[in-house]
Amino acid sequence: MSAQYEVLAVRYGTRQASAAEVFLNYHVYREPDRPLPMDYFFWVARNPARSVLIDTGFSPAGGAARGRTMLMDTVPALRAAGTAPDAVTHIVLTHAHYDHIGGLPAFAGTDAEILMTRDEYDFWTGPMGRRGQFAHTAEASELDHLRELRAAGRLTLAGRTRQVAPGIELIQVGGHTPGQAIVTVATASGPVVLASDAVHYYEELERDRPFSIVASLADMYAAFDQIRELANGGARVVAGHDPLVAERFGHPADPPGVITISR
Ligand SMILES: [Zn+2]
């Protein structure tokens, strides 16, 4: 039997946003603006052989600088999900935005293998990542930390597809950022797609509405198509920032802040 995993979404932060803020050029839809809460998650895929952390959340400083509400810092949130930092064997970074890599320093002293796409790393450590419309979504000190990890041989750079571990694949889709990746995980109840910021809200997929922060609009639309194809093949899609994740997957027995995607 191939490897299968338990998958958890950990809701560590939140904020109040609005549709006009969240969807690219919202005025083209000719609808009134409406409040839209935004949740912040990272994800855990684990079985007796390994524990894979997908993204790490924002740092207290990175969140505070943007007025985000941190519900749990990365390590306590991970412990709430039942995993100790030392137990993490792999960390996959879907992209380098502050709310996905900010918790990474907590794992510097562990043996976890850290993985992200080469295109994402090259973009954010290169000159274009410093231009204003990109730079506000990242923290310079956190990008420096990526450079340090790379120099120390701790950070593996992946091509467009990569097996993270048996049953877990990283797939680069681009769009939201140049090297944005999604992660597919094999579970006992079929494949799960951790879409991260390729799909912040289900409305992006279901109404074909791109998100407001975009590096390539054509790639973002193409990523929607690719994720729909996975969904049509039976995969369950976990959106990256949507409070509906709790509604669609949540279980009464879940501990606070933890959503069981698949057992
Ligand atoms: Zn992002």
The rounded distance, in Å, linking the Cα atoms of 176 and 197 is: 7
As beta bridge partners, residue 70 has 13
Q: How many residues does the chain have?
A: 263
- What is the whole-number distance in angstroms between the Cα of residue 205 and the centre of ligand 1? 16
pLDDT in single tens digits along all 263 residues of the chain? 579 999 999 999 999 999 999 999 999 999 999 999 999 999 999 999 999 999 999 999 999 999 999 999 999 999 999 999 999 999 999 999 999 999 999 999 999 999 999 999 999 999 999 999 999 999 999 999 999 999 999 999 999 999 999 999 999 999 999 999 999 999 999 999 999 999 999 999 999 999 999 999 999 999 999 999 999 999 999 999 999 999 999 999 999 999 999 99
- Residue 67 burial (C-beta neighbours within 10 Å; 0-12, 13-18, 19+): exposed
| Residue 57 CA to ligand 1 centre (angstroms) | 11
Q: Give CA–CA dist 115/136, Å, rounded.
A: 23
User: 153 CA distance to ligand 1 centroid (A)?
Assistant: 25
Ligand 1 centroid from CA 72, angstroms: 19
Q: How far apart are CA 226 and CA 87, in angstroms?
A: 32
Task: Outline where DSSP puts E strands in the chain.
Answer: 6-18, 35-47, 50-54, 69-70, 90-92, 113-117, 155-158, 161-165, 168-172, 181-185, 192-196, 236-239, 258-262
The alpha carbon of 126 and the centre of ligand 1 are apart by a number of angstroms equal to 18
Pairing mode, strands 6-18 and 258-262: antiparallel
